[in-house]
């Protein structure tokens, strides 16, 4: 029987996503994309800020700021310097200004402190017009030469930083490639794992190099060995898990964002906590913290 996660923050996000562990502050950060809010939970409790656009993904920075990949731009902000419910945004780069139907989606900091994220096409059927990008303080925004996608997701990195994982969620396959951070290049791409009973969403890699993936539509997080074989599962009492991260002092607490989107009224009655953040305690497993983003 799989471990079952339990509700940790009852935030009822429409589309909770992009959860990260800010180890220096012992804090969780995540987004409600459709709610246009940034959420943060630490020892003082839970806070949220309203944003001017949809926030796809985010990363804490070495400077103490937070990098935000909003729908059409990359920004930084200071969560301590804004008002109670509003933040001051500092622009770093625009994202696909010529494509009205796309927005930023999943992202994560690589092992060298660059922020890697992808975009998605919002139109029905999610045409493959989205791309993957690397943002760095030194080089700015650079597109990774990968095939276009409908929904970029599952971005994470092996412990040594030499492999990148990613997916186009509608294709139901998580891919793996050799990642060259210095020149924003990926080669040797091949299929890593296939999801047949849901859609692969956000992923994270643990200290042993195993990949944990949130399976949209299945109420499950799955752990895959480095060879792509299924290792174990964590049940989530919400239909649509979206992203995962390890946190806590021992890095053995798995935090999972979920969404209320694509759920019927009957499903929401049965699982009223959907859209919350869930937690599973995993003795014997140790997560690997993402480096802080070098935002400049």
Residues 36-53: tens digit of each pLDDT: 999 999 999 999 999 999
Q: What is the pLDDT of residue 178?
A: 98
Q: What is the pLDDT of residue 229?
A: 98
Q: How far apart are the first and last CA of the chain?
A: 46
Query: What is the rounded distance in angstroms from the CA atom of residue 294 to the CA atom of residue 3?
Result: 36
Q: What is the pLDDT of residue 2?
A: 74
Query: What is the rounded distance in angstroms from the CA atom of residue 243 to the CA atom of residue 258?
Result: 7
Query: What is the rounded distance in angstroms from the CA atom of residue 248 to the CA atom of residue 140?
Result: 32
Q: Digits of tens for pLDDT over the chain (296 positions)?
A: 679 999 999 999 999 999 999 999 999 999 999 999 999 999 999 999 999 999 999 999 999 999 999 999 999 999 997 667 789 999 999 999 999 999 999 999 999 999 999 999 999 999 999 999 999 999 999 999 999 999 999 999 999 999 999 999 999 999 999 999 999 999 999 999 999 999 999 999 999 999 999 999 999 999 999 999 999 999 999 999 999 999 999 999 999 999 999 999 999 999 999 999 999 999 999 999 999 999 75
Query: What is the rounded distance in angstroms from the CA atom of residue 281 to the CA atom of residue 205?
Result: 16
Q: What is the pLDDT of residue 249?
A: 94
Q: What is the pLDDT of residue 82?
A: 63
Q: What is the pLDDT of residue 85?
A: 79
Q: What is the pLDDT of residue 167?
A: 98
Query: What is the rounded distance in angstroms from the CA atom of residue 222 to the CA atom of residue 191?
Result: 16
Q: Tokens at residue 206, please?
A: 């643990």
What is the strand order of the sheet 253-259 is part of?
6-9, 277-281, 253-259, 240-247
57 by DSSP, 3-state: which? strand
Query: What is the rounded distance in angstroms from the CA atom of residue 191 to the CA atom of residue 176?
Result: 6
Give the global pTM: 0.97
Q: What is the pLDDT of residue 295?
A: 73
The Cα-based distances of 148 to 129, 182, 232, 256, 296 in angstroms read: 5, 22, 31, 27, 29
Q: Tokens at residue 79, please?
A: 């969560």
Domains of the chain, start order: 3-281 (2.120.10.30)
Q: Are 258 and 240 in contact (CB under 8 A)?
A: yes
Q: Are 249 and 206 in contact (CB under 8 A)?
A: no
């Amino acid at each position: 029987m799989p471990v079952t996660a339990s509700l940790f923050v009852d935030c009822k996000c429409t589309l909770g996503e992009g959860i990260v562990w800010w180890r220096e502050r012992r804090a969780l950060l995540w987004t409600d994309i459709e709610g246009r809010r940034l959420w943060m939970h630490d020892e003082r409790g839970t806070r949220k800020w309203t944003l001017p656009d949809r926030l796809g993904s985010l990363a804490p920075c070495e400077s103490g700021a937070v990098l935000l990949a909003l729908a059409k731009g990359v920004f930084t902000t200071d969560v301590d310097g804004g008002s109670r419910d509003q933040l001051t945004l500092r622009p770093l780069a625009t994202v696909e200004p010529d494509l009205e139907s796309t927005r930023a989606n999943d992202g994560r900091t690589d092992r060298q402190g660059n922020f890697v994220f992808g975009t998605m096409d919002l139109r029905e059927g999610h045409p493959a017009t989205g791309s993957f990008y690397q943002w760095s303080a030194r080089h700015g925004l650079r597109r990774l030469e990968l095939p276009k996608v409908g929904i970029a997701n599952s971005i994470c990195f092996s412990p040594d930083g030499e492999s990148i994982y990613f997916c186009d969620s509608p294709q139901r396959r998580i891919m793996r490639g050799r990642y060259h951070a210095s020149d924003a290049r990926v080669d040797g791409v091949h299929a890593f794992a296939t999801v047949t009973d849901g859609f692969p969403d956000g992923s994270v890699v643990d200290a042993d190099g195993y990949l944990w993936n949130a399976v949209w539509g299945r109420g499950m997080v799955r752990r895959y060995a480095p060879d792509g074989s299924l290792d174990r599962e964590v049940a989530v009492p919400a239909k649509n898990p979206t992203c995962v991260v390890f946190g806590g002092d021992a890095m053995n607490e798995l935090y999972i964002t979920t969404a209320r989107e694509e759920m019927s009224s009957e499903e929401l009655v049965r699982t009223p906590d959907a859209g919350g953040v869930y937690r599973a305690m995993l003795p014997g497993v140790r997560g690997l913290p993402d480096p802080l983003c070098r935002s400049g």
